Amino acid sequence: MAKIALMTSWNACCGVSVHAELIGEALLRLGHEIKVFAPRQYEDDGTRLYFSPDEGFVTRNFSFLRYGDRCTDKGLIDALYFDPEPILDEDFDLLIVEKPTSTPLGGLKKILPEIKEKARVIAVLHEGWMPENPYFARVEWDAVAVFDERYKDLFSPVLPEETLHVIPFPCHPLDRRDKFEAREKLGIPQFCEVVFSFSGLHQPEAVLTSLEGLEKDYPELVYLCLTGDPEMYWYLQGLGRKYEFLDVRFGRPPTRELYGYLGAADAVVINKGDHIHLVISSSVHLCLGALVPILCSDVNYFDAFGGAVMRYRDSAELEEQLYATLSEGGAEVSEKARRFLELRSADLVAERLLDIGLGNEPTPNRN
């Protein structure tokens, strides 16, 4: 049994938090102890905490700068709130630092020599472009984890090759809920078709246009939208006057409760815009365990999933795919999703991260 510390976003609506929570929960299942050092403050306008209390192993002792990879101002980075004492006082074998440029990296760099006297340190790079943060290339990690070869190619010019290891983003374990019970808890009619979206809800009008075209064939259709953004909630409530099938809920539930919504759905739609940098969808990794067909916009967020998700180019194609999914059940894509998550299960990824982090795997690294 190992003692693992994570310095990371936690219990928050962001991809860094999703990754850390999947890894942390897997480590607990595998019999290890964890300690989480999490942000007391998020220095941006969009990151919000779940509606749930922190676990007993969580200490909030720093500020999280979401766009710290773009920050060139050492004065700002050094001024971020950071209390190093909880980290220095804690006993652990490995410290996992998630998205290091979003931490107070200058302060962390100062205490790394003392940390390394008792533990190894591994960085997990969520950064999708070469960071401008002045501390990024000056920190000496024992190991660095990147999600795929694209990220490895990006960081190879500035980080030692022997420290770089490809460790995939983890998937949530299989968790299929009883649809009848899930709908009963949410107050959703049993005999209807339910399409579900949550979180950011990028350009919801595009999805609503597709669903409107399905009303003739599916008069009991429900589009269930869950958002934790008050402004988006009010905006969607306004759209509900035009689209009667729209059911808007406000909340930021932890993952175990999110799976209640997923269990009630016949299909999940994740609509996002393209991004100029390397990106990977934490939402898909989080939701695949429900084995509900996931339909995604045809952008680079979803390049890594192959046939485990369905991709659409426009509203017309989304309408066609939703019709096929609701009428046929989406068994093929669900089976591909099952195979995908088995290969990238959180337990397997956590074990790999632990082996690399603790130095148990010889170099050159295995990909």
Q: What is the 3-state secondary structure (H, E, C) of 271-319?
A: CCCCCCCCCCCHHHHHHHHHCCCEEEECCHHHHHHHHHCEEECCHHHHH
CATH topology (fold) of 179-343: Rossmann fold (3.40.50)
What pLDDT, on the 0 to 100 scale, is given for residue 367? 42
Backbone angles phi, psi at 6, to 5 degrees: -120, 130
Element (H, E) at 180: helix 179-186
Side chain identity at residue 14, one-letter code: C
- 226, 51 contact by CB (below 8 A): no
- Per-residue pLDDT tens digits of the chain, which is 367 residues long: 899 999 999 999 999 999 999 999 999 999 999 999 999 999 987 788 999 999 999 999 999 999 999 999 999 999 999 999 999 999 999 999 999 999 999 999 999 999 999 999 999 999 999 999 999 999 999 999 999 999 999 999 999 999 999 999 999 999 999 999 999 999 999 999 999 999 877 889 999 999 999 999 999 999 999 999 999 999 999 999 999 999 999 999 999 999 999 999 999 999 998 888 999 999 999 999 999 999 999 999 999 999 999 999 999 999 999 999 999 989 999 999 999 999 999 999 999 999 999 998 754 444 4
- 101, 127 contact by CB (below 8 A): yes
CATH topology (fold) of 3-170+345-358: Rossmann fold (3.40.50)
What pLDDT, on the 0 to 100 scale, is given for residue 362? 53
Overall pTM surpassing 0.85 (yes/no): yes
The DSSP result for 221-277, as a single string, is: -EEEEEE--HHHHHHHHHHTTT-TTEEEEE----HHHHHHHHHH-SEEEE-----SS
What is the C-alpha separation between 244 and 351, in angstroms, rounded?
A: 47
What sign does the CA torsion over 224, 230, 232, 236 have? positive
What sign does the CA torsion over 218, 224, 225, 230 have? positive
Range list for CATH 3.40.50.2000 in the chain: 3-170+345-358, 179-343
Pair of tokens at residue 153: 């190619």
- 173, 23 contact by CB (below 8 A): no
Q: Which of 170, 135, 122, 180 is nearest to 359 (CA)?
A: 122
Count CB atoms within 10 A of the CB of residue 200.
Answer: 17
DSSP state of 93: S
367 burial via Cβ count (<10 Å: 0-12, 13-18, 19+) = exposed
Pair of tokens at residue 132: 């401008």
Instruction: Please write down the long-range contacts of 78-86, taking CB distance under 8 Å and 24 or more positions apart.
Output: 78/104, 78/106, 78/107, 80/43, 80/104, 80/107, 81/40, 81/41, 82/107, 82/108, 84/108, 84/110, 84/111, 85/61, 86/37, 86/59, 86/61
- 298, 312 contact by CB (below 8 A): yes
